[in-house]
Structure 1
């Protein structure tokens, strides 16, 4: 009977908690302009969020088609939440078909799958497909834009305001290089996006009378090792913009430039930013997906113990030649007592070097912790008498 009872108690101990990384905006010590022709630029490590280089990072500027990153993020989040599927047909409205600029020439009344629409946006920067997807998810583009701005606030994009789903010129439509880096980092959680943005050329409407050839507007996908996205942008007001990502040896970078004079300069400066980071830094694995990060008892909680696991691989960004053992872990817990809401911040784990915090992992509950009843509390005490496995000892 005691063995059976022990299993019941332990089953409640492996409820996980969500993990989000959070770091301060730390610039590289070197005083050098890696993007001299850009009005604004940011180079960020996607794994930690650490800023390696910044130039006017918070200056509000027209983002042009980089806007479509937010449109694509809301699409993949709707897919992830089961609200829509890649197979769903999207009907093209008169409004969507009327978009100018880059497009896949959708016709009013035409139907195309979410999959193909998203591909058209990701590869060819299709303005018409962006609006069609916006209307499909939001009902109207106006309502979808409200969703875009709400999501921007949630991501901490403090210098961003959207007016449309595709980035065509509009009053009070702006963002910043730092905000776009935050957005890029968020969208990289969804491999479907880089699966599309990493394609150099493809076709839509294959097998039909009107096949459409897609060519990626981001030429670095073809010419720079490791680049698999994300989004270009150009209008006469915004000039040449690019939010790019590259991955080598387990380290993924995000580079954003805005207001470049031409496409050649834009690509060269982004490539130079990537070269700098790959030459100077290395990513050291800290936790594999599923690894236990921390264990915490919740006073009067049901369950009483939370096991916090890494939802994705987590690494330390270090200068080449640094010793990983020079970093120490420090847990900082809030005062925790049941009940605890799903999404509540429990505390954070700091990585400390030379007495200075250099990286933080925010620990967030992914489950609701109820206040334990009298009988549950008794069972918890008995469970402790039976002793927890060593790997479930509380993290200080």
Structure 2
């Protein structure tokens, strides 16, 4: 019986470990871990722990950014070879990133691959600004579309996930729903999540 894609599973597990490590270092006796495993064909939950508890999504927020990018591409509103300008805001993001400079441009394909392969924060910010005019405006689109997909307990604050946990929150259950939506709605593009690397050539 197939379960949610291993790429998403590794990301969820890594995020849970990070939260646990922070809590343990602060003297907490047990790690605050949330997880959920389900059958992607039926949606049946096979196991979970604290699946409805809200946490900061960190880089899992990029799954929603990628979903919106895929959707725009399939609707013809965005092209793989479209050039995205890098703003000072995008270039200033902390690693992981592609180390882009203000004024450089990258293609939509490079931005998507950068988010998928190395969780590039500058690429996420740039594509959000390109699609909606600002990170905040794009985050509102993320939250609205997420609600339509069934993410009932998720609030996005920016395309990358870099934000205070009180303003950007999700649950393991909502991230599982989003993972299923990516696989269901973009079967031809879902294989991109399996790529271990990509060739990057930024143009200025």
Q: Above 0.5 in TM-score?
A: yes
Taking the TM superposition and a 5 Å limit, the aligned residue runs for 1:156-167 are 156-167=150-161
Whether 1:59 aligns to 2:80 is: no
Instruction: State which of 177, 200, 203 in structure 1 corresponds to 2:199.
Output: 203
Deviations 1:277-305 (A, max 9, x none): xxxxxxxxxxxxxxxxxxxxxxxxxxxxx
Q: Identify unmatched segments of 5+ residues in structure 2.
A: 1-16, 18-29
Taking the TM superposition and a 5 Å limit, the aligned residue runs for 1:336-355 are none
Q: Identify unmatched segments of 5+ residues in structure 1.
A: 1-34, 209-396
Distance in structure 2 (CA, Å) of the matches to 1:114 and 1:200: 18
2:22 counterpart residue number: none
Distance in structure 1 (CA, Å) of the matches to 2:89 and 2:105: 14
Deviations 1:11-42 (A, max 9, x none): xxxxxxxxxxxxxxxxxxxxxxxx99661110
Distance in structure 2 (CA, Å) of the matches to 1:59 and 1:77: 28
The residue matched to 2:103 in structure 1 has which SS? coil
CA contact (8 A) 2:97 2:119 kept: yes
The two structures, once aligned, show a CA RMSD in angstroms of: 2.1
Q: CA deviation at 1:195?
A: 2.6
Instruction: State which of 173, 186, 196 in structure 2 corresponds to 1:190.
Output: 186
Q: CA deviation at 1:123?
A: 0.6
**Change in CA separation of 1:63 and 1:199 when aligned onto 2, cut-off 3 Å:** same
Count of equivalent residues? 174
Q: CA deviation at 1:194?
A: 3.1
- Find the structure with the greater CA-based Rg: 1
**Change in CA separation of 1:124 and 1:192 when aligned onto 2, cut-off 3 Å:** farther
CA contact (8 A) 1:58 1:178 kept: yes
The residue matched to 1:43 in structure 2 has which SS? strand
Distance in structure 1 (CA, Å) of the matches to 2:120 and 2:189: 15
Of Structure 1 and Structure 2, the greater helix share is in 2
Greater RCO structure (CA 8 Å; 6+ sep):
2
2:172 counterpart residue number: 177
Distance in structure 1 (CA, Å) of the matches to 2:188 and 2:121: 20
Deviations 1:303-343 (A, max 9, x none): xxxxxxxxxxxxxxxxxxxxxxxxxxxxxxxxxxxxxxxxx
1:122 counterpart residue number: 116
CA contact (8 A) 1:122 1:193 kept: no
The residue matched to 2:38 in structure 1 has which SS? strand
TM-score (norm 1): 0.42
TM-score (norm 2): 0.80
Whether 1:100 aligns to 2:120 is: no
Whether 1:150 aligns to 2:144 is: yes
Distance in structure 1 (CA, Å) of the matches to 2:116 and 2:192: 6
Deviations 1:335-386 (A, max 9, x none): xxxxxxxxxxxxxxxxxxxxxxxxxxxxxxxxxxxxxxxxxxxxxxxxxxxx
Taking the TM superposition and a 5 Å limit, the aligned residue runs for 1:233-272 are none
Of Structure 1 and Structure 2, the greater strand share is in 1
